[in-house]
Structure 1
Amino acid sequence: MSTFKGLFDEEQLKHIAADYFEPSVRHCHAFFLSHAHTDHMAGLNASFGQLLKENPEKKLYCSLITKELFSKLDRYSSGFDLDTLIVLDIGVPQLLSIADQYVTVTLIPAGHCPGSVMFLFEVDDIRVLFTGDFRYSVNDICKLKLLKNPDETVKKIDNIYLDTTFAYEEYKDFPSRDQSLQAILTEVKNWLKKDENNVVNLELPARFAYEFVFVSIYQMLNMKVHVTPVKLDLYQNISEIIGSVTSNPNTKVHACQDQALCVRGKNKNPLTIRLCTMLFKDSFVQNCGGGLYKNCDNSEIKIFYATHSSLNELRTFVNYLSPVMVTPFVIQPGTGVNLEILRERVTKLPDQSAKTSQSDNRLMSPLQKRNSSWNMTMF
């Protein structure tokens, strides 16, 4: 969960706030929302919407999909004039006038959830990267062309405000997203083949962030995933997702939370597939010979799926960019660590013996390659 309170240490960014909208930052002139998860939306309410209406020089910026999701979250968007949310294109440097100075802002795919982006701020002679929540594997690093100069050298980054959700020794290595996805698809396919009355119940730990799973189930197994009417409305204008979900309760795969009728009804044999990350510490993975699964009983399986970077993925990312400074902004409660410990931890070199978190791109099928590319664009 983000502990970032919106403001940057750099004097050149004193008029900018990101992912925090409480009164303590409302003196700023420009606000940036990396994605539409609640821990990054504190203070984003009707009174903030009124602030934007009354002060047209103040702007709130985000990606197109984040705006679409925000517009459907009534708790936050109620009282907002959605025209005050300014959409910036992903991958296109934008020159913005903020409080009588010009700032170049570039949105970079974050690999976390639909619409999630990182923000690269360039002003005067400094460059600051704010990751929001993100997941980049070893092989995703090559996609960071937006952080390169014309001569292919990496741009000098003065500070990275870094998502350190899993910057802990027990989460040093993660299976790749493709490996997790293949495990999910295999279990769904095998269970549904066993009996015509079998159905699958997907248990997801967040309101959204797992849409890539829905899309892949539809692409690979030709089955749409049943979701709630609220979820269906949430995706209504997101063409990349809406075709993979349905309001039809007679489909075989459900993420609708309506277990009584859809999953546990008469003559239905449910298998619950629970996607999670926290369980899969390195010790568990090593003891389970790969650690993608935990069989709870005959009716439930836990499968690893991460939307944040592992410790070695963070180290690879930081080592590649070689910033002057790293500012962690996520501390797991009860761990006894502080920001200095996290900073020291993520700036170490990644373990050379660590298993790569991404399969060799040369060995990926055309569908996997398309999924991987789409995953980094959308998520």
Structure 2
Amino acid sequence: MVDGFRFQNSRCQCHFLSHSHADHTTGLTKNFTGGLIYCSPVTAVLLRKDMGMPPERVVPLQLESPISIDGVTVTLIDANHCPGAVMFLFQIPARQGSPAQLILHTGDLRWHSGMAEHPALKGKPLDVLYLDTTYALPKHVHPPQDVAIAQIIDVMQKSYKEEPRTLFVVGAYHIGKERAFLGAAKALQWPVWVAPEKLRVLGMLDLPASDMALLTTREADARIHVVFMGQGLQPDALEKRMNSSGDWARVVAFRPTGWSYRKHGLETRRQGPVTIYGVPYSEHSSFPELRDCVKRLRPKRLIPTVNASNPTASRRVEDRFADLMDLSGDRSRLDMYFAAAQQSPTAADCGHACDLGSPDLELRSTKRRCLGHANSTLNHLEPPPAVQGGWKGPPNSLPVQERCAPIPNGLVPASPEWDQKPGSTGMEYPGLVLDPASLGTIHGVAGSQQQTTQSPPL
């Protein structure tokens, strides 16, 4: 079972934890007796020292090292989400008449195209992909992390030049957003204040010594302060911090979250000496990145893990990626998919439908032309791959390429969008049970005990 501790199943003795965020550890306490928990080394340290889990219940697994657990080969792959976050690749052998299966559970994921080159994934057809679909709407096109961090640095430099007595505050989670404040601190070589408890947790994350050297618990020694996302970033709290922690003339704060994305400029709020910027720094994949992930991995089946509270919602999310999947083994769905595309007046008008890379894309069968085309020559927006080395074009730009794919007739499906408070990932299916014999699955909506399918445990 992956991230499914809310389920009380005495027959399940193998649990896999993708990372230690609260929405994935719901139901897990230090009194847990439901078997062994397999996770990354960093997550194992957090479970033992931060959550107080019994050491004998926690089994750290090295990344990139396949290991056999009850006959299933499991490989942990970095998920590029928060410290310790991993994807689980399950290789299930053929048994009792059931074919072998290759299943990838991403946990929470910030995809980049380099992940497709991983030896365990490259050229390996996936049977099932459990995908983090937090940002699975076409409008969610936040930039790569290094671009968002560069925006923070740019604002800090300009603000400091205008007023040297500016206090900078960056929001973070108990675990998460470290790259946002450490990236700025390293670029500017400014010390960072964190609370003693935060420093204790950061010491468990296996951060480089050079990063830890930038941290201090003395407020007066630091120009950058880190506070918890939420109340710590309210204007009154920020002004109080400014007045009590040093000789500051104003405070400039940053809320780093993908929900802050705006097409033009940064979301800005001002109140007296306080300015708060919403920066589109996200530790979840953007919609173009999700499209790139599915395009490169070509799963036969895709199961959304967020914003998929029922089969209908799940199918709506999945349909946004169906043109990139390998549906050759699902003849009934493949025929229906292409028949719908051929019957669409949109497809008849230009012979195809465009990729879903545009944040404003809206396709309706009643329209006589494709909306969202890059230009009159019917070129199409191709989601830009995330580039580890940096953004290769203007922020928020989408390069134009010739790439087309049919889509079903009618309005492109849309699932409910859950704009939660920072830290919440919304309607989530964190649970997965794998059975080598039946290859069954079990899911539960975050915050409930709802189950859709029962199968024996791994």
TM-score class, shorter = 0.7 to 0.9
Secondary structure, aligned partner of 1:145: coil
Structure 1 residues 143 and 27: CA distance shift in structure 2, 3 A: same
List per-residue Cα deviations over 1:152-175 (Å, max 9, x = no partner). xx112110111111111322x221
> Is residue 353 of structure 1 aligned with residue 381 of structure 2?
yes
> Is residue 341 of structure 1 aligned with residue 302 of structure 2?
no
The 5-angstrom pairing of residues 267-278 of structure 1 reads: 267-268=247-248, 269-278=250-259
Find the partner of 1:85 among 52, 55, 58. Answer: 58
The structure having more radius of gyration, on CA atoms, is: 2
Structure 1 residues 141 and 227: CA distance shift in structure 2, 3 A: same
- Counterpart of 1:105 in structure 2 is 74
Contact 1:122 / 1:128 at 8 angstroms: preserved in 2? yes
Contact 2:308 / 2:317 at 8 angstroms: preserved in 1? no
Secondary structure, aligned partner of 2:139: helix
Find the partner of 1:193 among 161, 171, 177. Answer: 161
* Matched AA of 2:226: A
Structure 1 residues 360 and 113: CA distance shift in structure 2, 3 A: closer
How far apart, in 2, do the equivalents of 1:119 and 1:254 lie? Answer: 35
Secondary structure, aligned partner of 2:267: strand
Find the partner of 2:118 among 123, 144, 152. Answer: 144
How far apart, in 2, do the equivalents of 1:207 and 1:274 lie? Answer: 14
> Is residue 30 of structure 1 aligned with residue 40 of structure 2?
no
How far apart, in 1, do the equivalents of 2:24 and 2:135 lie? Answer: 17
Structure 1 residues 222 and 107: CA distance shift in structure 2, 3 A: same
Contact 1:19 / 1:33 at 8 angstroms: preserved in 2? yes
- Counterpart of 1:43 in structure 2 is 27
How far apart, in 1, do the equivalents of 2:15 and 2:387 lie? Answer: 37
Structure 1 residues 147 and 28: CA distance shift in structure 2, 3 A: same
Bigger fraction of residues in helix: 1
Secondary structure, aligned partner of 1:35: coil
TM-score (norm 2): 0.64
How far apart, in 2, do the equivalents of 1:177 and 1:316 lie? Answer: 16
Contact 2:102 / 2:126 at 8 angstroms: preserved in 1? yes
Contact 1:134 / 1:308 at 8 angstroms: preserved in 2? yes
* Matched AA of 2:80: G
> Is residue 222 of structure 1 aligned with residue 206 of structure 2?
no
Structure 1 residues 260 and 295: CA distance shift in structure 2, 3 A: closer
Structure 1 residues 227 and 88: CA distance shift in structure 2, 3 A: same
Could you tell me the percent identity over the aligned residues?
26
- Counterpart of 2:284 in structure 1 is 308
Structure 1 residue 329: Cα displacement: 1.4
Structure 1 residue 326: Cα displacement: 0.7
Q: Give the RMSD, CA atoms, in angstroms.
A: 2.6
- Counterpart of 1:62 in structure 2 is 39
Give 5+ residue unaligned stretches, structure 2: 94-99, 325-354, 358-379, 393-458
Contact 1:119 / 1:130 at 8 angstroms: preserved in 2? yes
Choose 115-124 or 250-259, whichever is displaced more. Answer: 250-259
How far apart, in 1, do the equivalents of 2:390 and 2:239 lie? Answer: 45
Give 5+ residue unaligned stretches, structure 1: 1-16, 53-57, 149-153, 365-379
Structure 1 residues 188 and 355: CA distance shift in structure 2, 3 A: farther
> Is residue 264 of structure 1 aligned with residue 239 of structure 2?
no
The 5-angstrom pairing of residues 276-291 of structure 1 reads: 276-280=257-261, 284-285=262-263, 288=264, 291=265
Structure 1 residue 337: Cα displacement: 6.4
- Counterpart of 1:160 in structure 2 is 129
How far apart, in 1, do the equivalents of 2:24 and 2:391 lie? Answer: 37
Secondary structure, aligned partner of 1:218: helix
TM-score (norm 1): 0.76
* Matched AA of 2:282: A
How far apart, in 1, do the equivalents of 2:308 and 2:300 lie? Answer: 25
Find the partner of 2:92 among 123, 129, 133. Answer: 123
Count of paired positions: 316
How far apart, in 2, do the equivalents of 1:362 and 1:166 lie? Answer: 21
Secondary structure, aligned partner of 1:299: strand
Structure 1 residue 356: Cα displacement: 2.0
Contact 1:249 / 1:262 at 8 angstroms: preserved in 2? no
Contact 1:61 / 1:88 at 8 angstroms: preserved in 2? yes
* Matched AA of 1:94: I
